Structure formats: structure tokens, C-alpha cells
Structure 1
Amino acid sequence: MANATTGTAAPDVGGETPPSPSREVMFDLLGNSRRRRVLRHLLDEREITLTDLSARIAAWENDTSVPDLSSRQRKQVYSSLYQTHIPRLSEHGIVAYDADDRIVRLTGDADRLRRFLDVDGPERGHFSYQWSRYFLWTAVVGSAAIAGNWLGTTPATHLGTGELYGLLTVTFMMLSVSFVMAVEGQKLLGVGD
């Protein structure tokens, strides 16, 4: 507990800041929704009083606004952050808590935290939009080929409806695997922390 209130992450012998927590430690730390919420707030606002931070988190957890919180709701979250969550994050050099001013500061690598929290940038939304087009056009072309086969108007009349369904299914499976690898491939393969 005393370590959380010292102010900043303690430098090691060489005067350098401690190394970033391992993936396992990060997953353990982020396994708690309250700690994730703390870090999301600190990614937006790098420095905040513990009182304001706890009020915002309490409002989110109770699905209300900060002015409508009861003192019990505020106190419960404040105590939890002060006694448990801020010390855990501080112990690993992710945040620093200044006990005199009661200010919590983000000290960890913001880009790395964003990756762990999966805070998307605008480019990822555009990327997903492109994939939705691929799925749409595959469905449209496949459905048109099957409908044309039923009506006898497609050039591929030598293929039966069952074969066309099979071809469409294989195409969707390949497209799905490609999508998962493009979007989640680095996570699945453990490439790039």
C-alpha cells in the first residue's frame, strides 16, 4: 500500500524506469473491469484526482450521472480504487499516485495499453467496413448464381444446385478465415506484443 502512495514508479538501480509488465501480468491486471475503466479514463485524461476518477467510475457502474450519485456509491468506488486498484497498477509502473495532491497519473506506455484494451482507432473501423463489403458481394454473387441456376439462365448450368451451395459455403469459409486472420491474426499468433 505504501508503494502506491509514493508518487511515481521507482526507478531501478541504473536510474531507468522499470520494464513494462509482461503480457501475463497485463492480462491479470486488466482482468478487472474497474481497473480497465481507470486506464480508459487515464488514456483520455492523463492526470486526474482520485475523487473525480472514482466519481466517474461510480457513475458508469451505476448507470447514472456524477451529480446523481449517492455518497455511499462514491465512497465505495473511492475506497476500492485507493486500497486495491491504484496500488496494483502503481506496483507495475502503469500509474503513479501522488498522496499529497491525491492525483492519479498515467505513467505506462499509452500505445501498449490501448492495444491491450483494444481501443480502436479510426483506421480499424474503415478496415472492418471493407470486409463487410467483401461478405456482402460474396452473398450477392453467390445468391445470383444459385437463383440463375434454378431458372436455367446462368452459363454454369452444368453445375447442380448442391455444387453451387458447396462452392458458396467454401467461399464463405475462406473469406471468414481471411477476415479473422486480417483482424485478429497478430493476437492469435502471439506476434507483436
Structure 2
Amino acid sequence: MGGEAEQGPSREVMFDLLGNSRRRRVLRHLLDEREITLTNLSARIAAWENDTTVADLSSRQRKQVYSSLYQTHIPRLSEHDIVAYDSEDRRVRLTGDPERLHRFLDVEEAPCSGFSHQWSRYFFWTAVVGSAAIAGNWLGTTPATHLGTESLYGLLTVVFMMLSVSFVMAVEGPKILRLVD
């Protein structure tokens, strides 16, 4: 019959499963390395969560993530045939469709990637124009010579503050609004 049938969990189930950052991290890692021991996987995730290296992790940090993966996250992913866990070898293996997982995981990152270049240009050109205006004022060559340097610095500061607030609202606004609801 038509190739339209979805393989694997429904979209709703996938979004529910991916609602947890630790499960997203497991899947991202398994997309890069299709099979890994649970010990190594939990150490790498613990290092990422604690912003440190695997070598600098404490035993407690390792155990917390290991327990969480073993008791909760790996079984949830396994019951939906996204990963398989071999309890003898203590190995986790990706069994879900990698392309489908990439599409779901990329949904989360897509909005941010479009803003970084656009917003960096706004900040860059604001700095260039502001610096040129201040330099022109010092040299007495700009139309705004009746403004003092302090006034230009103040104006530039206000422009940067407004640009920063706009940036935060554009990038983080949907998250902030969800928290308010």
C-alpha cells in the first residue's frame, strides 16, 4: 500500500519523548555513534550537563545520569523501538530511523540558526555606524557636531540596549511567552 505509513512512533509520541533534554542528548549521540556502552553514554551526557570533561566528573555525577538513563530514559526510548538495550553487554544501540530522528531533532534548532547571522549583522552595523559618528564628531566632520561625545555615547548605548532587547525577544520570546502562560 502507499509508502505514506509512518514507521515508528507517531509525531505526538516523538514530541513527548523528545520533550526531555537528556533523551534528546542520548539520540543526538546515537546518531553520531550508533552503538555505545551505557557507562560511556552516561559519562558523556553527564560531562555535557555539568559543563566539564568526562575525566573531571565525580562518581556521583556519573551515577545520577547512569541511573536516570538505565531506569527511565533508555526504557522509554526502547519501548517505542527507537533504541535497543542489551543488558548482558550493557550496550545501547540506535534502532529508530536516523533520518526521521534528524528531522525531529532539527525542528528544535531551526529557529535559532536563522537568527544568528541576521542579528550579528545588525549588531555589527550598529557598531560601525556608531563608531563612525563618534569619530566624525571628534574630527568635527559630521552633521551632529552640535552634540557632545557623551551624548553620542549615550545614544549609541540606548540603540544597543534596544537592539539587545529586540534580539532576546526574537530568539527567546516564544519560550518566555510559554512560561508566562
What TM-score, normalized by structure 1, do the two folds share?
A: 0.53
Structure 1, gaps ≥5 residues long: 1-13
The secondary structure found in structure 2 opposite 1:139 is helix
The total of aligned residue pairs comes to 166
Partner of 2:74: 86
Distance 1:110 1:188, change over 3 A: farther
2:92 counterpart of 1:103: yes
Distance 1:45 1:88, change over 3 A: same
* Structure 2 Cα separation of the partners of residues 22 and 120 of structure 1: 22
Distance 1:146 1:174, change over 3 A: same
* Structure 1 Cα separation of the partners of residues 157 and 63 of structure 2: 55
* Structure 1 Cα separation of the partners of residues 61 and 170 of structure 2: 43
Distance 1:120 1:55, change over 3 A: farther
Structure with a larger share of its residues in helix: 2
2:7 counterpart of 1:20: no
* 1:82 to partner: Cα distance: 1.9
Partner of 2:128: 140
Greater relative contact order (Cα 8 A, min sep 6): structure 1 or 2?
Answer: 1
1:103 maps to amino acid: V
Distance 1:75 1:147, change over 3 A: closer
Partner of 2:105: 113
Distance 1:28 1:128, change over 3 A: closer
* 1:19 to partner: Cα distance: 1.0
Matches within 5 A, 1:1-193: 17-21=8-12, 25=16, 28-30=19-21, 34-57=22-45, 63-65=53-55, 77-91=65-79, 93=80, 95-99=82-86, 102-105=91-94, 107=96, 109-116=101-108, 118=109, 124=113, 128=116, 131-149=119-137, 151-157=139-145, 160-161=147-148, 164=152, 168=156, 171-172=159-160, 175-176=163-164, 179=167
* 1:103 to partner: Cα distance: 3.4
* 1:189 to partner: Cα distance: 8.8
Structure 2, gaps ≥5 residues long: none
CA-based RMSD of the aligned residues comes to 4.8
The secondary structure found in structure 2 opposite 1:48 is strand
* 1:28 to partner: Cα distance: 4.1
What TM-score, normalized by structure 2, do the two folds share?
A: 0.55
> Identity over the aligned pairs, expressed in percent?
63
The secondary structure found in structure 1 opposite 2:12 is coil
* Structure 1 Cα separation of the partners of residues 13 and 85 of structure 2: 25
* Structure 1 Cα separation of the partners of residues 41 and 73 of structure 2: 12
* 1:29 to partner: Cα distance: 1.9
The secondary structure found in structure 1 opposite 2:134 is helix
* 1:96 to partner: Cα distance: 2.4
Distance 1:177 1:52, change over 3 A: closer
